[in-house]
Structure 1
C-alpha cells in the first residue's frame, strides 16, 4: 500500500512537472522569438535611420570626404558608385563579407549597388534625391578595427548633385542583440530546471498531505478486516473533499454491512430455534414409534413434517430474496390471480369472501405474487373470528390488493414490527397454528422487490400496492 500511495505521489508530481515543463518551454520559445523579432526590428530601424541620414547628406551636396559618418564599431557605413569604387567608408572598417574596403579603388562590388530583378522597374533617383523605396535589409559579417562581428545592413540608393548614383550601406551591430538573447536563454536554461524541481517538490508534498487520510482509512480497514469487528469506523477528515466523502461512504458501507451481518446472525439463530422444535418433535415421535409402534402418532408426525417443509421453503425463499433475486417481468391480471388463488382454498378453517376483483394488469413473478396473497390470507385466517375478505381495485397508477378480517386487529404500536422476521405477537397461538413469523416478512420483501408496498391499516386490513403495467395505464 505504501508503494501504491508513493506511486500516486510520483505520478502526480511527474504529471504536474511535465505539464509545467511543456508550458514553460513553449512560453520560453515564444519569448525568445518575440524578443529576437523586436531586437531585429530595432536593428533594422537603426540601420535604416543611419543609411537615410548619410544618403540625405549625399543628396544635399556634401562631399564624400566630408560626410559625417558614425563610429564604425556600432554603425559601419560604406558608399560605392555604380562601378563598385569605394567613395567613403567608416573609420576602421576593413572588410564586408570577406572583401577588403579601400577608398578610391573598386571593391569588387558588395552585391548591392546593382539592381536585382525586383528593382529593374525602379526609377533611378534624380540628381540631389534619395530613393523613396524601403532600404534592402540583410545580415552579414564585417571586420572593424580587426574585430569580426555580425551586422544588420540597410542598403539604399542616392544621387548626388552631379547626377551620380551611389549605393549607401549602413550596418548595425548585432552584438547587443545576441548578448541579450543569450542572457535570456541562459536564464531560462538555469531557471527552468530549478522551477521544475520546485513544482515537483511542492506537488509531492501537497499530494502526500492530501493522501495522508487515505492511509488512515486503509490502516483502519486493515484492522477491521483482521479483527472482524464491524462496529469500528474509519476516521473522517474534517475537510469536505473527495477523501472525506470516501470516508463517509466507507463508514456507511460498514454500517450497512454490520447491519446485514447482524440480520444474518439473528436469522440463523431464529431459524435454528424454529427448526429445532419440529425436528425434536418428529424425532421423539419416531423414537417412541420404534419402541412402541402402537403409540405412533402418525397425524402428528405428518403435521410436524409439513410444518418443517413449509419452514424450509420459507427460509429458502428468504435466502433467494436476500441474494437479490429479481422477479420475472410477466404481465399478470391481479384480479384473475386473486380469483384463482381463492378458488383453491376450499379446506380453509374460515371462508374467504371475494369482494370486487376487477382486471388490473401488473408486471412481476406470478409465483411470488401468489405467495403474498397466500401469506396474507393465512395470517388473516389465524386471527379472524368468522370471515376474511379479499378485494382488488385500481388507484391511479397503482393496483391495490386488500385482505381484511373481522379479528381484533393489530395494535398501532406493532404495525411495523409484525413485518420483521420471526416476530409473533401471540407467540404460543402462532406456534400452535404452525406460523413461524415469516409470512408477513416474506410478503413485504416480495412487494418491495416488485416496486410496491405492503402495510396494515385500520385494524386488520392489509393493503398491497403494486405499480400498474406501463401500457395498462390510462
Structure 2
C-alpha cells in the first residue's frame, strides 16, 4: 500500500512541496523567534541601562545612599570598590547575575559576603574622573525576587566615580517577562499556524497536480485501450495547452500514425508477396502434376523459368525484409565506376561511361543489386540503347542510367518506387517482374545516405539518377 501511494507522481509532488515549505517555514520561524528575542532583550537592556544611569547620576550629584530614589518594583544594587552592597531596592529579597547576591546594604568595615569577592574590580576598566559616569555599560542575565515573585531580568552594569566615596558600580534590572511572553506567543502561533499552512499547501498541491496530470491519465487510458483493441487508427486526446503534456500527446499521435503506416505497409507487403508467390508456385505445380501424369508433356524449360523466377522473387523479399529490419550497409569502400562496368558487361545495348575511379562507403553486394535492377529496368523499356554514366559532382558520386524508351509519366515518377507497382497492368509478369526492383534500389540508396530519382532522358526515355556521398 505504501509503495502504491508513493509510486504516484501526484503523491511524490505533494510530499516534496510540503517538505520544502516545511523546511522554509522552520527556517523562517527560527529566524523570527531569534530576531524577536534579540530585539526584546535589547530593549530590556536599554531600559535597565537607563535606570542604572539615573541612579549613577544621583550618586555623582552627591546624593546619600539612603536618599537615593530606587524603584521598588525593579532590582537595583549599588556596590562599592570593595564589593560591598551599599544601597539596594527596599523590597529586593533575592538576586543573582550581578556583582553580589547580597540584598541588604552592609555597614562599612564589614567583609564582603561569601562569593562577593572583588572579581568585579576590573568590571569597568575605564579611568573615571570624580563625578564622571562610565560611558560603556555591561549587561548580564540573571533573576531576582521582589515581594515573593521571582522573574528573569536583564541587568545593566554602570560604573560611576563619586567624590569622597570612590568608585561605585550600579546594577539595575529590567524584566524579561515581555520578551518571554512575546516569544511564547509567537511560538504558539507558529505551532498552530504552521501545520494548518502545511495542510493547505499539501491540499492545493494535490489538487493542482491532479489537474495537471489529468491529460496524462487520459493519454495513458487511451494507450491502454489501443493496446487492448489493437486499433492503431485511434489517437490519444491532445489537451488545449502549449505545455509538455500537449507536446507528449502530439508526439504519441505521430508515433501511432507512423506505427499504423508501418503495420499497414507490412500487411500490404505480405498480401502482395503472397499474391506474387502464388502465380509461379501454381504454374510450377501444374507443370509437375501434368508431368507426373504424362511425362511426355513435361515443359522442362517452363518449369526451370518458373523456378528461377520464384528464386529471384524470394531473394528480393528477403532483401526487403532485411532492409525493413534496419540492416545497415557495410563500411567498405566500393568503386562505383568499376562496379558499373562489371554490371554492364555482357548486356546487349548497354554502354558504360566511367573513366576515373570514384569510391563510396557501403555494401558492394547491395550497390551491385541497385545497378543490376536499374539496368534490368532500363533494358526492359529501352528501344535499342541503354547508357550508364558515372561521374563526380562535388562531394557526391552520380550514377545515371538512361534509356531511349517511352519514359515515365511525371505523375507516376514517385509511384514506381513503391513495392509491387507495375505501370503496365497488362504486361506479362514473366517480362515485367514483380515490381520490386526499383523499390529495392531506392531503399538501398537511402540507407547509404543517398537518393534515387527519375526524370526525362535526353534521348526521350527515362533517366534514373543515383546520388551517393563520396567515401
Q: Does 1:97 align with 2:99?
A: no
String of CA shifts for 1:316-357, please: whole Å, max 9, x gaps.
Answer: 1111111111111112222122122223xx1x4x32101134
Inter-partner Cα distance in structure 2 for 1:235 and 1:108: 90
Report SS of the residue matched to 1:408.
coil
Deviates more, 1:12-21 or 1:358-367: 358-367
Partner of 2:163 in structure 1?
161
Partner of 2:59 in structure 1?
58
Decide whether the 8 Å contact of 1:220 with 1:234 is kept in 2: yes
Flag the 1:378–1:111 CA change in 2: closer, same or farther, 3 A. farther
Inter-partner Cα distance in structure 2 for 1:342 and 1:367: 15
- Paired residues in the alignment total 459
Partner of 1:329 in structure 2?
331
Flag the 1:392–1:95 CA change in 2: closer, same or farther, 3 A. same
Decide whether the 8 Å contact of 1:87 with 1:103 is kept in 2: yes
Map 1:72-151 onto structure 2 (within 5 A). Answer: 72-73=72-73, 75-97=74-96, 99-105=101-107, 108=113, 114-115=119-120, 122=125, 124-132=127-135, 134-151=136-153
What is the deviation of 1:176?
A: 0.6
What is the deviation of 1:302?
A: 0.6
Decide whether the 8 Å contact of 2:280 with 2:307 is kept in 1: yes
Q: Does 1:394 align with 2:392?
A: yes
What is the deviation of 1:155?
A: 1.2
Inter-partner Cα distance in structure 2 for 1:378 and 1:219: 52
Deviates more, 1:363-372 or 1:81-90: 81-90
String of CA shifts for 1:142-201, please: whole Å, max 9, x gaps.
Answer: 111211111111112212121422111011111111111111111111111111111111
What is the deviation of 1:82?
A: 2.6
What is the deviation of 1:358?
A: 2.4
Report SS of the residue matched to 1:27.
helix
Deviates more, 1:2-11 or 1:437-446: 2-11
Structure-1-length-normalised TM-score? 0.92
What is the deviation of 1:281?
A: 0.5
Decide whether the 8 Å contact of 1:149 with 1:173 is kept in 2: yes
Q: Does 1:13 align with 2:14?
A: yes
Flag the 1:236–1:187 CA change in 2: closer, same or farther, 3 A. same
Inter-partner Cα distance in structure 1 for 2:121 and 2:333: 94
Partner of 1:472 in structure 2?
none
Inter-partner Cα distance in structure 2 for 1:144 and 1:340: 120
Flag the 1:5–1:221 CA change in 2: closer, same or farther, 3 A. farther
| Structure 2 unpaired stretches of 5+ | none
Flag the 1:139–1:357 CA change in 2: closer, same or farther, 3 A. same
Flag the 1:351–1:72 CA change in 2: closer, same or farther, 3 A. farther
Inter-partner Cα distance in structure 2 for 1:126 and 1:7: 78
2:188 counterpart (186, 189, 196): 186
Decide whether the 8 Å contact of 1:289 with 1:296 is kept in 2: yes
What is the deviation of 1:72?
A: 4.1
Flag the 1:380–1:431 CA change in 2: closer, same or farther, 3 A. same
Map 1:190-201 onto structure 2 (within 5 A). Answer: 190-201=192-203
Decide whether the 8 Å contact of 2:82 with 2:121 is kept in 1: no
Flag the 1:5–1:186 CA change in 2: closer, same or farther, 3 A. closer
Flag the 1:398–1:4 CA change in 2: closer, same or farther, 3 A. farther
Inter-partner Cα distance in structure 1 for 2:20 and 2:230: 45
Inter-partner Cα distance in structure 2 for 1:14 and 1:198: 13
Inter-partner Cα distance in structure 1 for 2:219 and 2:72: 76
Inter-partner Cα distance in structure 1 for 2:195 and 2:280: 82
Q: Does 1:45 align with 2:43?
A: no
What is the deviation of 1:67?
A: 2.2
Map 1:406-421 onto structure 2 (within 5 A). Answer: 406-421=404-419
Flag the 1:272–1:155 CA change in 2: closer, same or farther, 3 A. same
What is the deviation of 1:138?
A: 1.1
String of CA shifts for 1:336-382, please: whole Å, max 9, x gaps.
Answer: 22122223xx1x4x321011342222111111111111110110010
Inter-partner Cα distance in structure 2 for 1:252 and 1:4: 32
String of CA shifts for 1:417-473, please: whole Å, max 9, x gaps.
Answer: 00000000113325131510000001101111111110001250000111112xxxx
Decide whether the 8 Å contact of 1:234 with 1:250 is kept in 2: yes
Inter-partner Cα distance in structure 1 for 2:149 and 2:280: 117
Inter-partner Cα distance in structure 2 for 1:428 and 1:300: 21
Cα RMSD for the two superposed structures:
2.1
Decide whether the 8 Å contact of 1:81 with 1:113 is kept in 2: no
